[in-house]
Chains A and B, each alone.
Chain A
Amino acid sequence: MILRQLQRIAGAAVFAMVLAPHSQAGSLQIQLTDARDRNAEGIGVVVETSTPEPLPTAPPHAVMDQHREQFVPRVLIVQRGTQVSFPNTDRVQHHVYSFSPAKQFELALYRGNEHPPVTFDRDGIAVLGCNIHDHMVGYVLVVDSSHFGFTDRDGRLVLNGLPNEAVKVTVWHPDLGVDYGVINRTIDLTSGKNTAEIRLDQAWQSKQEASLSWNDY
């Protein structure tokens, strides 16, 4: 649902080009490039289908660590109902919170893995902070889909197990800008198309470790 909302506010231009079919139906390969035609690494891709998702036998589980005073990974995509653990592998304590409508919770001061996982049961984007380290920000995108991932170094992501139908592809990363830079495309897998090239309308460089500290001692 949130993806549909975000679809309406997305302002980024997109060029999707369908290539000649040469791989099996039921899978989709996405190739993402930026405005300078460089492969765009580390960007989230979610594929939504009209076929209802089969209910998982056990709740999916995901992990967002806190390491060197950063959330690791900083951006997480999970299926609705996923239980996410927030271990703290730093030597210092963290105090994780979210006041986002998608999920509001607080993991009071802790080290290690002393809090139980948090279940993300509503679609949307939960932005996480730390009450000790003001600059720490993490993102959990909760979607009603089990088909998602992040592009690799070559800007590529392959998703398998898709139904043979028209699917909606959403490209998302918080660093793409306001409104989380959502980009949407519909790809019709029934026509044998299973490769999509998507080009961002901005230059993209996946965030390296900053050369500066943003701590305020």
Chain B
Amino acid sequence: MERLLIGALLSMVLLQAAPASGEAPEMSASIALGYVASGDDTSFLDEGFGKAPYGSDDEGPAFVDGFIELNQSIGSSWDAQLTLSGSNNLSPGLGVTEATLTYRPLPNSGLRYRFKLGAFRPPVSFEHSSEGWTTQYTVLASALNSWIGEEVGGLGGEIKIASDDAANPTGWNWDVFASGFYGNDPAGAMLAWSGWTFWNGQTRYGDRIEFPPVPLFAVAQQSYYAEPYIETDDRPGYYVGGTVDRGQQLRLRALYYDNRADPNSFNGGQWGWHTRFTSLAAQANLPLDVGLIVQWLGGSSVTWEVPGLGAAVDMNYHAAFAELTRAFSSQRLTVRYDAFGVSDVDANPMDPNGETGHAWTASYRWQITRQWAVSVEQLWVQGHRTARALLGLDPNYDDHVALATLRWQL
């Protein structure tokens, strides 16, 4: 946290010193502190099964999250972007979450072409629409998009072709995109061993998130931590998708992801997890200026297929949420319902991964000035996870966290 604060302060100084010219990099930054009232569980970031980034040890004043994003244009068609993020229970304070080089020629043919190289996540989330891959409706993201932030992303390229909104401003517009990437072979491990969670943060390159102690690890030589962004088999993965939208009233997106990992590959304590999922997302402006976001994700992950015995973990999973949000001038109210589950396909009794649960989130945000905002938020999660019994916990859980945050943003 100290490092993040120092980083934020340094950035402020740099920005004050930089001349306001077109050549200076653009910088966005945010830091939030808060007060947390949490439930009895231990956070998933702290080797527990708690659903929030704050567990029973985190009650009281807390660092919430922060990021610094730098964007440097190179000529009029290229830009380079670097995003550093941090959040509670992650060390060090800041780490790289995204680094991209983008080529964006003018759409003079009526089509937009975008070519992106670097480290980035697939565009699953309709919640994370602000700089630094942050949410603006709630503090804690949905279970679905929290998982994307936890362990989905890679190093590669993306091409996107889109219609030009200005050429057809009142009709339907569309895009299609495809990406090939390396370095996301362990995706699925956190979902298998920690379960669905609710998070304002995201894992950074090099982060190691410790799992709850699961007996399987001793047998499988699996590290006791997750390290999502590594390559175990040198086979690239891909995602493809498309979007249609109409006049900022309705937007629909479908995306398919397959990391093509060899489930028997192993590198540095991490197994390859062959993870595939389909994501569907919609957002709409409803009457009375109410905004609606609905997303669904369903997929499967399999790892370590032992001949004659089957896979160590083979699971199907799904998550969905519906969120209603309404801005009242500088204030905003948001309510969200999440439902999620994991079903164990393997017959490995040592390592139950099944889960079913649902959650409600209610959030209030007041943007006091352009730079200062406060939020008050409550999350309630209920569900059943068999693996909790391995740690002597009741498999039925009822977790909750209340957050009050003060955010400064640049």
Q: How many residues of B contact A (CB 8 A)?
A: 44
Residues of A within 8 A of B26 (CB): 91-93
B291 at the interface (CB under 8 A from A): yes
* Residue pair B165, A129 in contact (C-beta under 8 Å): yes
Cβ B106 vs Cβ A97 within 8 A: yes
29 A–B contacts from the bound complex (CB under 8 Å): A91-B28, A93-B22, A95-B106, A97-B106, A98-B166, A99-B110, A99-B164, A111-B20, A112-B20, A127-B166, A131-B112, A134-B112, A134-B162, A135-B165, A136-B165, A137-B166, A175-B170, A178-B171, A209-B327, A210-B248, A210-B285, A211-B289, A211-B291, A211-B326, A212-B292, A213-B129, A213-B130, A214-B245, A214-B248
Q: Does A35 contact B (CB under 8 A)?
A: no
Contact among B20, B165, B293, B332 for A134, CB-based, below 8 A: B165
B162: chain A residues within 8 A (beta carbon): 134
Known contacts A175-B247, A213-B129; 17 further A-B pairs (Cβ under 8 A): A99-B107, A99-B110, A100-B166, A111-B22, A112-B20, A129-B165, A175-B170, A178-B170, A209-B327, A212-B284, A212-B293, A214-B245, A214-B248, A215-B130, A216-B129, A217-B123, A217-B129
Task: Judge if B233 is at the interface, Cβ distance under 8 Å.
Answer: no
User: B327 to chain A: which residues have CB within 8 Å?
Assistant: 209, 211
Chain A CB within 10 A, most for which of B104, B166, B167, B326:
B166
Query: Is A192 at the interface (CB under 8 A from chain B)?
Result: no
Q: In the complex, which residues of chain B have a beta carbon less than 8 angstroms from the beta carbon of A93?
A: 22, 26, 73
Instruction: Give me the interface of A with B, judged by CB distance under 8 Å.
Output: 91-93, 95, 97-100, 106, 108-112, 114, 127-129, 131-132, 134-137, 139, 174-175, 177-178, 208-217
B291: contacting residue among A92, A97, A177, A212, CB under 8 A: A212
A107–chain B nearest beta-carbon distance, Å:
10
The distance from the CB of A200 to the nearest CB of chain B, in whole angstroms, is 16
Whether the pair B128, A109 counts as a contact (CB closer than 8 A) is: no
Contacts of B296 in A (CB 8 A): none
Chain B 371-404 near chain A by CB (<8 Å), digits 1 or 0: 0000000000000000000000000000000000
Residue of A106, A129, A178, A208 near B164 (CB, 8 A) is A129
Determine whether B304 belongs to the interface, using a CB cutoff of 8 Å to chain A.
no
B369 at the interface (CB under 8 A from A): no
Contact B133 A217 (CB under 8 A): yes
Q: How far is the CB of B276 from chain A (nearest CB, A)?
A: 23
Cβ–Cβ contact B166 & A210, under 8 A: no
The complex places the Cα of A111 from the Cα of B23 at a distance, in Å, of 10
Q: B260 on the interface (CB 8 Å rule)? A: no
Assuming the A-B contacts A108-B76, A211-B327, A217-B133, are A127 and B291 also in contact, with contact meaning beta carbons closer than 8 angstroms in the complex?
Answer: no
The closest CB in chain A to the CB of B325 belongs to A211
Let me know if A217 and B130 touch, CB within 8 A. yes
In whole angstroms, what is the CA distance A132 to B167 when docked? 15
Interchain nearest-CB distance for B201 vs A (Å): 15
- Are B166 and A99 touching (Cβ within 8 A)? yes
| B136 at the A interface (CB under 8 A) | yes
Query: A97, B129: Cβ atoms under 8 Å?
Result: no
Could you tell me the distance between the alpha carbons of A177 and B247 in the complex, rounded to whole angstroms?
11
B166:A97 contact, CB within 8 angstroms? yes
Task: Enumerate chain B interface residues (CB-CB to A < 8 A).
Answer: 20, 22, 26, 28, 71, 73, 76, 104, 106-108, 110, 112, 123, 128-131, 133, 136, 162, 164-167, 169-171, 245, 247-248, 251, 283-285, 289-293, 325-327, 332
Known: A215-B130, A216-B129, A217-B128. A95 touches B291 (CB 8 A): no
Q: Is the CB of B166 within 8 A of A212?
A: no
Is the Cβ of A109 less than 8 Å from the Cβ of B73? yes
Closest residue of B by beta carbon distance from A106 = B106
Q: How far is the CA of A111 from the CA of B284 in the complex (A)?
A: 31
Query: Which residues of the partner chain B approach A91 to less than 8 Å between Cβ atoms?
Result: 26, 28
Cβ contacts under 8 Å, B110 to chain A: 99
Q: Which residues in A have their C-beta under 8 angstroms from that of B292? A: 212
Task: Given the known inter-chain contacts A97-B166, A108-B76, A178-B170, please indicate yes or no for A211 contacting B290, CB distance below 8 A.
Answer: yes
Known: A93-B26, A95-B76, A216-B123. A210 touches B170 (CB 8 A): no
Residues of B within 8 A of A114 (CB): 22
Chain B residues contacting A212 (CB-CB under 8 Å) are 283-285, 291-293, 325
* Chain A hits for B112, CB < 8 A: 131, 134
Partner of B169, one of A174, A209, A214: A174
By a CB distance below 8 angstroms, the chain B residues around A209 are 327
A177-B170, A217-B133 known; A99-B291 Cβ under 8 A: no
Taking CB as reference atom, which chain B residue is nearest A127? B166
Name which of A91, A93, A112, A214 has the most chain B CB atoms within 10 A of its CB.
A214
Choose among B123, B247, B285 the residue that contacts A211 (Cβ–Cβ < 8 A).
Answer: B285
Q: Shortest Cβ distance from A197 into chain B, in angstroms?
A: 26
Contact of A217 among B106, B108, B131, B285 (CB under 8 A): B131
Q: Give chain B nearest CB distance to A217 CB in angstroms.
A: 5
**Minimum Cβ distance to chain B for residue A105 (Å):** 11
Of chain B, the residue at the smallest CB distance from A104 is B108
Chain A residue, CB-CB nearest to B334? A211
Bound Cα distance A109, B104 (Å): 12
Neighbouring A residues of B167 by C-beta, 8 Å: 99, 127, 129
In angstroms, Cα B245 to Cα A126, docked, is 21
Chain B proximity of A16: nearest CB distance (Å): 25
In the docked arrangement, what's the CA distance between A132 and B129, Å?
14
Shortest A118–chain B CB gap in Å is: 15
Chain B residue at smallest Cβ distance from A108: B76
Give Cα distance in the complex from A139 to B167, angstroms.
11
